[in-house]
Structure 1
Amino acid sequence: MLEESSVNETLSRHKVDVTVVEQAVRASHAALGKLQKSDGHWVFELEADATIPSEYVLLRHFLDCVDVGLEQKIAAYLRRTQGAHGGWALYTDGRFDLSASVKAYFALKMVGDDPEAPHMRRARAAILQHGGAEKSNVFTRIQLALFGEVPWDAVPVMPVELMLLPRKAFFSVWNMSYWSRAVIAPLLILAAHKPLAINPRGVRVQELFRTPPARIRKWIGGPYRSVWGRVFAYLDRAIRPLVPYVPASIHEKAIRVTIEFIEKRLSGGGLGAIYPSMANVIMVYRILGVPDDDPRVVQAWEAVQGLLVIKDHEAYCQPCVSPVWDTGLSSLAMLEASTGNRGVMPAETMTALKKAASWLRERQILDVKGDWAINTPDLRPGGWAFQYENDYYPDVDDTAVVGMLLHRIDPEENHTAIERAREWIIGMQSSNGGWGAFDIDNDLEVLNHIPFSDHGALLDPPTVDVSARCISFLSQLGHPEDREVIRRGLDYIRSEQEENGSWFGRWGTNYIYGTWSVLCALNIAGIRHDDPMVERAVAWLESVQNDDGGWGEDCASYEGAAPGVYKTSLPTQTAWATLGLMAVGRRDSEAVRRGMAYLMQEQDEQGEWHEAPYNAVGFPKVFYLRYHGYKQFFPLMALSRYRNLADSNSGQVEFGF
């Protein structure tokens, strides 16, 4: 680490000597550059909680394809991540989560852990204390049903005939988010067949239930988020006895349509390129009698295997991979570091970035109209997916980030790709002026109250952070004809500001992330820095700065904890906060100088940063993420921005990210 006294002395003067900052930038730039792959892209680990690794173990035992060595490494990961409360949390230092704990216990017992071992006894006691496995969420009860631990009556009724409903039908899958459609489609076939896992070791977990499952008469119940929950629970009870009487011709047609839906979207990345849907597809093929050496099965299994992170003593399964996102953000940080009079090896960096740009251009989706086209059939494709391959599900956030990057690297060489991205982004704006991640106007909120959606994340409505990125992209391009699109987006953002001055971060943790995203967009869109909206946001960011000069926030803020507060400062959160403040003219503020000092003090001798807390979210209160790359490229971006603003005649941030 840099000497603390040197850092403080350097940053204490009003006119800062950026020599120490330059040293930190160079070290970080070199460290990040070494992580670039030979073909030009970056990819970092994307870690979730114990749920996905546990489900992976259960999948292998469902299929009877046990891998003892690999499963023991996953077991080591599960044991290490067990909390002091006896169970498993959804993020670092989080509270006990019943569903994650049930799955982790089941997986550990499946690989051979003695139920009377101390860690298993503690887990079992915690599960029973919190209501037992019968109180776990829908997806956990589905896993239990697949192994015969609960009856299928424990699962909300989801007839496969749902796949026949048109877009305008209330319960149509087209009213659900991309991830919901991708997971539900194969799940409907599983629910129709009600298969039983092979379970070669005959492992049971009845000891996790406070009431034996055979004695439970009411599985679909509260707590309800609204009166609609009670209505839908009643509807579930009314429909359930009718499902067996659906005419065979309709049922068989629904199965065919569902299989067609799945296979049309299969690729090297698997269905939807997310673990739950990929695993469901593998189980579907097994119960339909498709041989394991069938190319479709081989492809689906290889996609799942591609999610594994295997180390010397541990292993875990990622929920998905994030190469496009990581490449876009890493490249922006590298580009920022090579900008200005004090730039770091600009020629070498530009060569690396041109390689990244080429890799990204090859992955722009130009000839597949994905599920988003259901609502905008006349819109040409032009986006990027989050993963290596997921053509039916490009996302708006990745597209905006990649578009900004390509424009900064070479607007002429990348002109065609940029304009196709611009066209698609504009076409994906929702009616309220905001942007969702994957769909337009995917906001039929009442669907979040059906029994299947006990996680409350069945939809993909517009969010502030994604909308901010779209505004930044369009503003960076500067087309006069886009002003009305940008204005509507700004109106949406203004309407979403919290009372304390912050903005909620849907896809990153949390209010610091959301506020940083918005302040960057407001700046490049030309909103005055003395606008009351901006001043309130700045005041809030400064109010949650820690005594050590950094900022911190963890996932508890999604669960009612104070926004923008954590027990310690974190490099990623500090980078977001300082980038947000610098975007609106506060580069020379005491808050930003102290933030820079914190980042340099926390940097190690290799030019890297370290942090354990999770920094993103899949579904608030249900599923959280830890992007391992965030702690590397965001601090580099912040330090480089600080240095570059000193070199700039105007002292003004030129870009919206």
Structure 2
Amino acid sequence: MTSTADDASTARPPHPPENAGRATGTGTGTDFAFPPSGPEEEAARRAVLRATDHLLARQHAEGYWLGFTQTDVSFDVQDLLCRLFLGILDDRLVADSGRFIRSQQRADGTWPLAPDADGHLGTTIQAYVALRLAGDSPDEAHMLRAAAWVRAQGGVAASQLISRYWLALFGWCSWDDLPEIPPEIIALPDRAPLSIYSFASYARVVLVPLAVISAHRPVRSAPFAIDELFVSAGPPAATTAKAPLPGRERASQRLNSVLRAHRKAVPRPARRAALAACTRWLIERQEADGSWNGYTPTTVYPVLALHLQGYALDHPVIKAALGRLDAGWVRVEGDKRMVETVLSPVWDTALSVTALADAGLPPGHPALTAAADWLLGRQTTRRGDWAVRRPRLAPGGWSYEFDNQTYPDNDDTSEVILALRRTGHPDRARVDAAVDRGAQWARGMQSEDGGWGAFDADNTSTLPGRLPFFDFSGYCTDPPTPDVTAHVVEMLAFLGQRDDVRTRRGVGWLLAHQEDDGSWYGRWGVNHVYGTGCVVPALVTAGVPAGAPAVRRAVTWLVSVQNGDGGWGEDWHSYEDRSRIGKGPSTPSQTAWALLALLAAGERDGSAVRAGITWLTDRQTKDGTWDEHVFTATGVPGVDALSYGLYRHVFPLTALGRYARRQDTGAPAAGPSAEPSAG
């Protein structure tokens, strides 16, 4: 989410205590207009009431909701290494972080990207280094297991690039073994094929500071050696693999040789000018809370880059960033320090409003009014990087975090508009104006092929992925995806714009991108269960009949991957292994996504829906929520797995609410008054 430009307050409690809400109890106005049709519906009603109370109790006094975001430990490690590089790492912080990182190690010595994922080489190397910082001896059993596993996977030389960038800062790895990232890339014209704007926003915010860092090639004195993480003897500099390389890697090496030659040939004034331009670019994009992009992972790199450019620790820019990093962590279990990579109040609030509306909370309920008021204050008011491709489009989107004016996204914008239209905020003119601006912005962000990406329009070049700068070449850009496109289509149709040419093109894009098995890919949630759960309700809201072939194929696929216990699940590895698509232990969020699709498809009375509803109601906890121990959200497929703390609650409540109130999508609740004035 974003704040307005003059909203610089960051001293907000990140996570409200339980029972901090505005109103609780079953007297909130949630009711049902008809007697239950059977035991499943009766159980669903009881679950809806308990879940409504639970969610209301979690609302912050300012009107927003905020769940806890978890990811792998690499970001905890990078926070430590950043502080070590800057000379501000203190013993207590290291000890507290070490306890958390140590608690996440698996029996085989590894650290994974997600609880249900295999051990990850780069993450394991980083975690090992962090524990060495925390005082763990390489001779201890857990460290021996980790080092042996790392060597068995090929050692440091085989690890992901981002891990080796961090190791190079302390001489554990040689800069000569890393890609050359010329800072002169900043000078390429904005619309040039390989300009920084050809990269996805999240890659761009790392690429620019990495270009500065790699130009300086800094090396701080290492506090210890990590020779035990290398396969062969010899200095860490001799880490380049000697085995024959595939054609793409050979091409990357040739390009890197050219860039290395460029490094030696570029005139010093030109290099200084490029570094200065990178510095200006970074400073212009620092948010009100001191972060870049509202994320911890994308904040540490600019801090290092700017410090190398001469910015002292007490400079306002660095000071603000370090303040954000200090505020961006929480303690769990008393003495364990855990970095929370991102705060997600806008997304969490929009989903919570929708869940409560689907549960039957009256539009004028104080909790929904307060949430709407808070969301209205978070609409972006200035142009961000998206304006490079849409220079004449007025701002109006919403971002994910508390402070992020630069990178609003189509996903949040759509969900916020859907949420606002479900509330009874007393200032309807203010709501109408905000919705009109947001919808107009989202409409203008449609890509040429008819779909929508997350942060940019037409960010589809294949060239950035061919450069050797990142490991995740397939995700260096931000092309349209089914889940984001579905949310925009659903929002536009909900606003009465079914027949708008942009909506129809979006529907056509979705139909053209259905998988052969009947599912849709999920870019920002794991994975095809999420994508299908997004697309089917959107198509139905947009006027595609529930009996249409695409919808029926989706239903067939969902039923075919339903688990024997009645729920649905999909494992993180399905991004890399198609044989695992739609397969995995049942989870509350993924079961709810499947149910939302099936309900929209008219399957309310089918056995699959009844079994799914029973799975959810049987597993509701005593305090009215659900437990979910796997990660079902996605930052970058195969690279960054996420767990959003409210997913386990808001999606089950939404599905159960629609089932119990016999409304198969959220659209009918809006009525004709939901149509905005803007076209």
Q: Report if TM-score (shorter chain) is over 0.5.
A: yes
Is 1:326 aligned to residue 339 of structure 2? no
Aligned with residue 477 of structure 1, among 477, 490, 495: 495
Is 1:571 aligned to residue 584 of structure 2? no
- 1:554 deviates by 1.9
**In the alignment, what sits opposite 2:656?**
639
Identity of aligned residues (%): 36
Aligned with residue 321 of structure 2, among 300, 306, 314: 300
CA distance in 1: counterparts of 2:177 and 2:666, whole angstroms: 55
Tell me the SS of whatever aligns to 2:642. Answer: strand
Matches within 5 A, 1:2-401: 15=38, 18-197=41-220, 199=222, 202-211=223-232, 212-214=234-236, 216=238, 218=240, 224=246, 227-267=247-287, 268-311=289-332, 312-339=334-361, 346=362, 350-366=365-381, 368-401=382-415
**In the alignment, what sits opposite 1:654?**
667
CA distance in 1: counterparts of 2:335 and 2:209, whole angstroms: 34
CA distance in 1: counterparts of 2:241 and 2:167, whole angstroms: 13
**In the alignment, what sits opposite 1:459?**
477
Structure 1 gaps of 5+ residues are 1-12, 340-345
Residue 653 and residue 386 in structure 1: after superposition, are their counterparts in 2 closer, same or farther (change >3 A)?
A: closer
**In the alignment, what sits opposite 1:342?**
none
CA distance in 2: counterparts of 1:96 and 1:561, whole angstroms: 19
CA distance in 2: counterparts of 1:221 and 1:430, whole angstroms: 41
Tell me the SS of whatever aligns to 1:618. Answer: strand
**Contact 1:365/1:383 (CA < 8 Å) preserved in 2?**
yes
**In the alignment, what sits opposite 2:459?**
442
More deviation, 278-287/572-581: 278-287
Tell me the SS of whatever aligns to 1:127. Answer: helix
CA distance in 2: counterparts of 1:189 and 1:28, whole angstroms: 49
Q: Which has the higher helix share?
A: 1
* TM-score, structure 2 normalization: 0.89
- 1:567 deviates by 4.6
CA distance in 2: counterparts of 1:221 and 1:522, whole angstroms: 49
Deviations 1:34-91, CA, capped at 9 Å, x for gaps: 1111100111111111211111121221122123223222212212211233211111
Deviations 1:544-599, CA, capped at 9 Å, x for gaps: 11122111112021121534544521111111111110011111111111111110
CA distance in 1: counterparts of 2:129 and 2:396, whole angstroms: 43
**Contact 2:125/2:150 (CA < 8 Å) preserved in 1?**
yes
**Contact 1:447/1:453 (CA < 8 Å) preserved in 2?**
no
More deviation, 496-505/556-565: 556-565
**In the alignment, what sits opposite 1:343?**
none
**Contact 1:269/1:387 (CA < 8 Å) preserved in 2?**
no
**Contact 2:526/2:632 (CA < 8 Å) preserved in 1?**
yes
**In the alignment, what sits opposite 1:501?**
518
**Contact 1:83/1:93 (CA < 8 Å) preserved in 2?**
no
- 1:502 deviates by 0.5
**Contact 1:386/1:398 (CA < 8 Å) preserved in 2?**
yes
Residue 66 and residue 218 in structure 1: after superposition, are their counterparts in 2 closer, same or farther (change >3 A)?
A: closer
**In the alignment, what sits opposite 1:8?**
none
CA distance in 2: counterparts of 1:653 and 1:292, whole angstroms: 50
- 1:171 deviates by 2.2
Residue 213 and residue 434 in structure 1: after superposition, are their counterparts in 2 closer, same or farther (change >3 A)?
A: farther
CA distance in 2: counterparts of 1:581 and 1:447, whole angstroms: 38
Tell me the SS of whatever aligns to 2:667. Answer: coil
CA distance in 2: counterparts of 1:96 and 1:273, whole angstroms: 28
Deviations 1:590-623, CA, capped at 9 Å, x for gaps: 1111111110110011001101111011111111
**Contact 1:49/1:624 (CA < 8 Å) preserved in 2?**
yes
**Contact 1:468/1:521 (CA < 8 Å) preserved in 2?**
yes
Aligned with residue 433 of structure 2, among 409, 416, 424: 416
CA distance in 1: counterparts of 2:284 and 2:245, whole angstroms: 38
More deviation, 554-563/151-160: 554-563
Residue 327 and residue 269 in structure 1: after superposition, are their counterparts in 2 closer, same or farther (change >3 A)?
A: farther
Tell me the SS of whatever aligns to 1:625. Answer: strand
Tell me the SS of whatever aligns to 2:463. Answer: helix
- 1:216 deviates by 2.5
CA distance in 1: counterparts of 2:40 and 2:346, whole angstroms: 36
CA distance in 1: counterparts of 2:85 and 2:637, whole angstroms: 29
Is 1:427 aligned to residue 477 of structure 2? no
Tell me the SS of whatever aligns to 2:210. Answer: helix
Residue 638 and residue 652 in structure 1: after superposition, are their counterparts in 2 closer, same or farther (change >3 A)?
A: closer
**Contact 1:363/1:384 (CA < 8 Å) preserved in 2?**
yes
Tell me the SS of whatever aligns to 2:661. Answer: helix
**Contact 2:596/2:665 (CA < 8 Å) preserved in 1?**
no
CA distance in 1: counterparts of 2:607 and 2:429, whole angstroms: 39
Deviations 1:119-142, CA, capped at 9 Å, x for gaps: 100000000000001111111110
Structure 2 gaps of 5+ residues are 1-35, 671-679
**Contact 2:497/2:503 (CA < 8 Å) preserved in 1?**
no
CA distance in 2: counterparts of 1:337 and 1:653, whole angstroms: 10
CA distance in 2: counterparts of 1:590 and 1:412, whole angstroms: 45
Which amino acid is the alignment partner of residue 464 of structure 1? P
Tell me the SS of whatever aligns to 2:635. Answer: strand
More deviation, 208-217/180-189: 208-217
Residue 162 and residue 222 in structure 1: after superposition, are their counterparts in 2 closer, same or farther (change >3 A)?
A: farther
Question: Number of residue pairs matched?
Answer: 628
Provide the alpha-carbon RMSD of the alignment.
2.1
**Contact 2:399/2:405 (CA < 8 Å) preserved in 1?**
yes
CA distance in 2: counterparts of 1:222 and 1:535, whole angstroms: 48
Tell me the SS of whatever aligns to 1:460. Answer: coil
**Contact 2:173/2:237 (CA < 8 Å) preserved in 1?**
no
Which amino acid is the alignment partner of residue 359 of structure 2? A
Is 1:584 aligned to residue 601 of structure 2? yes
Residue 512 and residue 108 in structure 1: after superposition, are their counterparts in 2 closer, same or farther (change >3 A)?
A: same
Residue 215 and residue 145 in structure 1: after superposition, are their counterparts in 2 closer, same or farther (change >3 A)?
A: closer
CA distance in 2: counterparts of 1:487 and 1:542, whole angstroms: 28
**Contact 1:269/1:388 (CA < 8 Å) preserved in 2?**
no
More deviation, 449-458/461-470: 449-458
**In the alignment, what sits opposite 1:534?**
551
CA distance in 2: counterparts of 1:291 and 1:620, whole angstroms: 36
- 1:652 deviates by 6.7
CA distance in 1: counterparts of 2:588 and 2:318, whole angstroms: 42
CA distance in 2: counterparts of 1:429 and 1:652, whole angstroms: 24
- 1:641 deviates by 0.8
CA distance in 2: counterparts of 1:48 and 1:448, whole angstroms: 24
CA distance in 1: counterparts of 2:219 and 2:53, whole angstroms: 52
Residue 652 and residue 192 in structure 1: after superposition, are their counterparts in 2 closer, same or farther (change >3 A)?
A: closer
